Structure 1
């Protein structure tokens, strides 16, 4: 037995070597299964689109590529929208207001319905103030509307449309429409271009009946109005408009003031005052329709 390794030690070394080799093989096999599971998981989660390739082959590959391209386009579009919103938010407020001032009323309202960033920009009070000055007048720059410039713009646009309806009624000579246009109240007043004053609802409507009869009799047949220099001021339930009304461009204009009150969700006229502007000592035509 001298010079040789004992049998028990040699057996122990063989068993230890075999055990280590088995552990390495087990670890390598487990790692391969884990890597394969991770690859399958990543393949499924790489795109949110549902891919069912079917029969395989070229058609299946093409379909998968198409769906991956669609996912890429969606991600790109989303990124572009986010970039567009962030760009608007990063603009200096004065630049944004100036850019939006080139839009009209309808376009600005539509812009506010695109996304949250555009809605904040389109509802900016400064943008609506700039649009008001562009479409109406800069004479009211110092006022502060109670409900903001957007609401004030809408109210001004509404009362100017009502005022235009008043002159359409005169052109048509419709007494029923004129009767509905005035508020049925004792304090309403009408001063025609002739200088005559009519007080109370009945007297005012009778004066318009007289004016329409005069026009239909030939004295004012074919006469049309041109309204210029319209200026409006609107409060919560009261509005007044000043303007120049041209019945005949060869003569001077009528200076007109119309006052409206808001009742039962609509505007009614309560005061109309028309006075002719004297030119070169000529009193001009005394037109009831002024």
Structure 2
């Protein structure tokens, strides 16, 4: 939805505000995180949302339109940053790069991984052990991983990516997996905390 006028109705502004905070979409990857307000202060999504709601309540629609645009830009930037983190995860996977794989995951007992056909593995150390097995398997790296139907959703410090993985190794194919990758923002950087991949026949 594109609103061409800076002076639009409160209903349109509320609708766009909801769109910014709820709509999953397909976007290209780039790096960006935060928005600067007029005084050069970093402003997060929650602060912008509060300011937008206040401006609508005060019927200051010119300010509300600007805040709506700022919120939409911040949301798009956060989605791009999550997609960039998703790319780092798959690049580590493609290359069998254990150092990179260890660096893209959040640290803690709350992370989990479900490899195709396997059960849930929880906790940083066990999840990393599982990737040691995957990356240390008898494959010729880099392997080919094509991602299709990529969608991303972000809310605050949590985001997720859904996609279809098409994985091939030299002379064989792992087939297709539907994957969900969940990310959390820690100290301004996005880390994967859940990876779940399941075989599908398409």
TM-score range relative to shorter protein: 0.5 to 0.7
Structure 1 residues 241-252: aligned runs within 5 Å: 241-248=161-168, 252=175
The alignment status of 1:233 with 2:153, answered yes or no, reads: yes
Query: 2:58 is matched with which residue?
Result: none
TM-score, normalization by structure 2: 0.62
Structure 1, unmatched stretches of 5+, are 1-91, 95-124, 138-144, 280-290
Q: Determine helix, strand or coil for the equivalent of 2:144.
A: coil
- Residue 181 of structure 1: how far off its partner (Å): 1.0
Aligned to 2:102: 179
Distance 1:222 1:179 in 2: 17
Q: 1:202 to 1:150 in 2, by over 3 A?
A: same
Cα deviation per residue 1:83-108 (whole Å; 9 max; x = unaligned)? xxxxxxxxx937xxxxxxxxxxxxxx
Q: How far apart, in 1, do the equivalents of 2:117 and 2:193 lie?
A: 19
Aligned to 2:81: 158
Give the CA deviation at 1:165: 1.1
Q: TM-score, normalised by structure 1?
A: 0.44
SS, match of residue 253 in structure 1: strand
Deviation of 1:278 (Å) = 3.1
* 1:58-104, Cα deviation, whole Å (9 max, x unpaired): xxxxxxxxxxxxxxxxxxxxxxxxxxxxxxxxxx937xxxxxxxxxx
Counterpart mapping for 1:185-264 below 5 A = 185-214=108-137, 217-218=138-139, 221-248=141-168, 252-264=175-187
CA RMSD of aligned residues (A): 3.0
Q: How many residues align?
A: 144
Say which SS state the counterpart of residue 89 (structure 2) adopts: helix
Partner deviation per Cα, 1:161-215 (whole Å, 9 max, x = no partner): 110111000111111111111111101100011323211110000000000111x
Name the SS for the 2:147 alignment partner: strand
Distance 1:243 1:166, change over 3 A: same
Report the structure, 1 or 2, having the larger strand content. Answer: 2
Say whether 1:136 aligns with 2:136.
Answer: no
